[in-house]
Amino acid sequence: MTHDIYLDANATSPVLPAAIAAAADAMGACYGNPSSGHATGLRAKALLDGVRERARRMIGAGAGSVIFTSGATEGIQTAVLSALCAVRERQAAGETVGDLLLYGATEHKAVPEALAHWNRLLGTGLTLRALPVDGEGRHKLDVLRQLAPRAAMVCTMAANNETGTISDLAAIEKALLVTASNAYWMVDSVQALGKLPLALESTRIDYAPFSGHKLYAPKGIGMLYVRDGAPYTALMAGGGQESGQRSGTENMAGIAALGAVLAALETGDTFRTPAQLHACRERLVASLREALPGIVFNTPLHASLPTTVNFSVEGLSGRDLLDVFDAAGMRVSAGSACSAAKAAPSYVLEAMELPDWRSASAVRLSFGPAVDDAFIDAACERIAHCGRAMHTGGLVPHALRREVREDVIRLGLDGATTWLVLDEASRSCVVIDPIGALGERIASMIRSGDYRVRGIIGTSTCGDQPPVRAALGALLAEQIDFTGSADPFGWPAGSDRVSLDDGTRTDGIALGGQVIARVPHGGDTSQSYLMGANSDGALHAADVRFAFTGATPAELLHDAVQRMTALLNGDTVVCPSLDSANLVCTTPTAGARPVPPLDSMELQPAELDRFLRERPDAILVDVRDPWEHEAGRPMIQGRTAFNVPLSRLPSQLAQWLGGVESRPLVFICRLGTRSQRAAQCLHRAGYTQAWHLGGGLALHFSNRKTGLSHP
């Protein structure tokens, strides 16, 4: 059993034990309402005042005020509302106010969203303008100097949450001063607290929001610094708490907890110094460099918070990296919003004008200043483990030479599928329906496995298929082992002839002892391919293991299969190239069989143990990618899972369907999505002994310890 390594502190941090104790005390012994005049209330009031005083000292608030909020998002709203109400009053009084709301292009979304929201609601009619940043993520000061005279409000964060880039606030202040800008200035200081020195009163900053949960306090507590004399409009009116500046009974548990964190910051006994944090990060960076050849850091380390690293690895998607880290029990974050198949590029890295691949595949590691050496040791060890898993699992391109037992590999992206047919004995392969975006990956798999390419063919002549096939051909020029032809499906010239069971003779590509035969569909825009053992120039229906067809949706797939019915057997695995129905693969008889309801094949985490006890012959099948499996091999009740990623499921299905016994299979994956597809796929194919773990490993091992083995 291994503990999680939590490296996502910029998203949120664990709560400091002293903060938990302080919150418990504020809910226990010191439960009073600070507005009550009796002794119980007065004790709570003393606590509240004490925390506020400490907060003022820690951020150097001077004569400015500190208002407790629910978090930074509320602080940002309050600051923007306050500034825009003042702008509106000045507009009404006929004063010159700027026409721009200027915000750093890499600000947290809360900032531009709040600006747009309040600008609309208050009818201030200003124009939002993003202030560009340079390649290091720092604001472009020349643009600021140019626009500052037109700005009614300027918002520039102290440090960026994705990249850790530290803004040059002194230079921004200077730009505002030299241009005699009268803009209100907000500095989102969320990521600065505890990591950078703050002396707000000595600056021109009008508003500075903070958030407790980014520095070991709980979620739901934050504070807003307001410069003495800066305009203020309360966001919430009511009982007049916080001197009428923020009504509502105070979140005393949160305030007490934040107070404990600030006390730790003040006494200096809990948090590491910047120099120590830099040393910690250097060790992580060294491990990353070692584990991930080709790594590039997206922010220069000297210009970023010592607790943040943002990087990309050429050839690896952020999703793949995240999956490996997560499988190893290491919680990191994509520098960008990720969906299962595709990463949306990070707007922060895009604003820095980094190459597309870097902004689409960035990963962020961040830790808090209470880090200790034992944690960094463990993190470095885990990073090294992930690096090894990526090599063994075949994710790192130059290490792909591995034993490939399977002969059909499925590579999917957004509902489209490429089929890679490999014959290990002859080390030859055929690519069917390559996807443009996967070209590099397909090419590196083939190159590193040292396969000769006997054909790059398509099931369709439509769309971008012909140019994509040609581009892959160019990437694989050294491996190509066929003569191109003018055939619109990419079929190689001079291929063999093979006879099929309906008496027809067709073209075939020999792959060792197997053959891929083409089956025209009558029209001239689509065709299917059959694959199986070559019996003296014939491919018999009983030997057809795979049928590749481009036709979906389901009815069309069924039609295509019907037309070939005399050429297939009941266990032929049908592989669609367009898989909008998420079938993965199917069989000719699948349509005729009722598919059981989804919950009947789902095992809840609590049921799994009983199921495994009652079915000792059950096999656990991990359908995650091999590098995820290698990073954390799931072991449940002493049983190690056997790895069949979805890319290899069709190949494995052919073996399961052809096997003599059908043992119960329990599919598992990270979140329960891939495992559900696998279980459904098996049921459709008539293999009814298939279940999956609902909610995935993430829920099964939700008790902070993982059941993963990290060799």
**By the rule CB under 6 A, 191 interacts with ligand PLP:** yes
**Nearest residue to 64 via CA among 161, 181, 185, 168:** 185
Question: Is residue 338 annotated as part of the catalytic site, yes or no?
Answer: yes
Torsion of CA 693, 694, 696, 699, to 10 degrees: -120
Q: Which helix (H) or strand (E) holds 366?
A: strand 363-366
**By the rule CB under 6 A, 71 interacts with ligand PLP:** yes
Comparison of 108 and 410: residue with beta carbon closer to ligand PLP? 108
# of chain residues touching ligand PLP (CB under 6 A): 12
Comparison of 161 and 680: residue with beta carbon closer to ligand PLP? 161
Residue 205 tokens, joined: 């900053």
**By the rule CB under 6 A, 165 interacts with ligand PLP:** no
Contacting range for ligand PLP; rule: CB under 6 A; set: 185-193, 397-405, 441-449, 663-671: 185-193
**By the rule CB under 6 A, 108 interacts with ligand PLP:** yes
DSSP three-state, residue 231 = coil
Single out the residue of 156, 181, 211, 549 in contact with ligand PLP (rule: CB under 6 A).
211
Smallest distance, ligand PLP to C-beta of residue 445, A: 38
In sign, the C-alpha dihedral spanning 451, 455, 459, 463 is: positive
Comparison of 112 and 231: residue with beta carbon closer to ligand PLP? 112
| Residue 595 DSSP label | P
Comparison of 211 and 534: residue with beta carbon closer to ligand PLP? 211
Residue 365 tokens, joined: 């590691």
Give yes or no for a contact between 424 and 405, defined as CB atoms under 8 angstroms apart: yes
Residue 228 tokens, joined: 């003495």
Q: How many CB atoms lie within 10 A of CB 149?
A: 15
Helix boundaries (H) for 394-480: 439-448, 465-475
* Residue 202 one-letter amino acid: S
| 36: Cα separation from own chain's centroid | 47
Which of the residues 30, 338, 575, 585 is marked catalytic?
338
Single out the residue of 72, 389, 476, 509 in contact with ligand PLP (rule: CB under 6 A).
72
Comparison of 209 and 626: residue with beta carbon closer to ligand PLP? 209
Comparison of 69 and 577: residue with beta carbon closer to ligand PLP? 69
Smallest distance, ligand PLP to C-beta of residue 157, A: 5
User: Nearest 5 degrees, angle CA 306-CA 307-CA 309?
Assistant: 90
Comparison of 108 and 670: residue with beta carbon closer to ligand PLP? 108
Q: Return the residue nearest ligand PLP (CB atom).
A: 71
Residue 616 tokens, joined: 């000792």
Smallest distance, ligand PLP to C-beta of residue 221, A: 8
Contacting range for ligand PLP; rule: CB under 6 A; set: 188-196, 225-233, 303-311, 592-600: 188-196
Using a 10 angstrom Cβ sphere, with 0-12 exposed, 13-18 middle and 19 or more buried, the burial of residue 247 is middle
Smallest distance, ligand PLP to C-beta of residue 347, A: 13
DSSP three-state, residue 66 = strand
Q: Which of residues 118-157 bind ligand PLP (CB under 6 A)?
A: 157
Contacting range for ligand PLP; rule: CB under 6 A; set: 67-75, 364-372, 561-569, 570-578: 67-75
Comparison of 110 and 531: residue with beta carbon closer to ligand PLP? 110
Smallest distance, ligand PLP to C-beta of residue 421, A: 46
Smallest distance, ligand PLP to C-beta of residue 602, A: 34
Q: How many CB atoms lie within 10 A of CB 356?
A: 10
Q: Which of residues 355-414 bind ligand PLP (CB under 6 A)?
A: none
Helix boundaries (H) for 130-168: 141-147
538-539 β-sheet, strand order: 538-539, 496-500, 505-511, 514-520, 527-533, 544-549, 573-576
Contacting range for ligand PLP; rule: CB under 6 A; set: 87-95, 183-191, 198-206, 537-545: 183-191
Alpha-carbon distance of 257 to 697, in angstroms, equals 32
Q: Which of residues 222-241 bind ligand PLP (CB under 6 A)?
A: 222
Smallest distance, ligand PLP to C-beta of residue 625, A: 29
User: Nearest 5 degrees, angle CA 209-CA 213-CA 217?
Assistant: 110
Smallest distance, ligand PLP to C-beta of residue 222, A: 5
**By the rule CB under 6 A, 161 interacts with ligand PLP:** yes
Smallest distance, ligand PLP to C-beta of residue 109, A: 8
Determine how β-strand 363-366 pairs with β-strand 452-457.
unpaired
Residues 6+ apart with CB under 8 A from 67: 78, 223, 224, 226, 242, 245, 246
Alpha-carbon distance of 560 to 553, in angstroms, equals 11
Q: How many CB atoms lie within 10 A of CB 594?
A: 7
Comparison of 366 and 526: residue with beta carbon closer to ligand PLP? 366
| Residue 542 DSSP label | G
**By the rule CB under 6 A, 110 interacts with ligand PLP:** yes
Comparison of 190 and 255: residue with beta carbon closer to ligand PLP? 190
Q: Show the site string, 73-102: x = touches ligand PLP by CB under 6 A, - = not.
A: x-----------------------------
Single out the residue of 188, 206, 507, 622 in contact with ligand PLP (rule: CB under 6 A).
188
**Nearest residue to 205 via CA among 145, 144, 156, 162:** 156
**By the rule CB under 6 A, 190 interacts with ligand PLP:** yes
R_g over Cα of the chain: 31
Contacting range for ligand PLP; rule: CB under 6 A; set: 46-54, 70-78, 133-141, 518-526: 70-78
The residues binding ligand PLP (CB under 6 A) are 71-73, 108, 110, 157, 161, 188, 190-191, 211, 222
Q: Which residues are catalytic?
A: 338
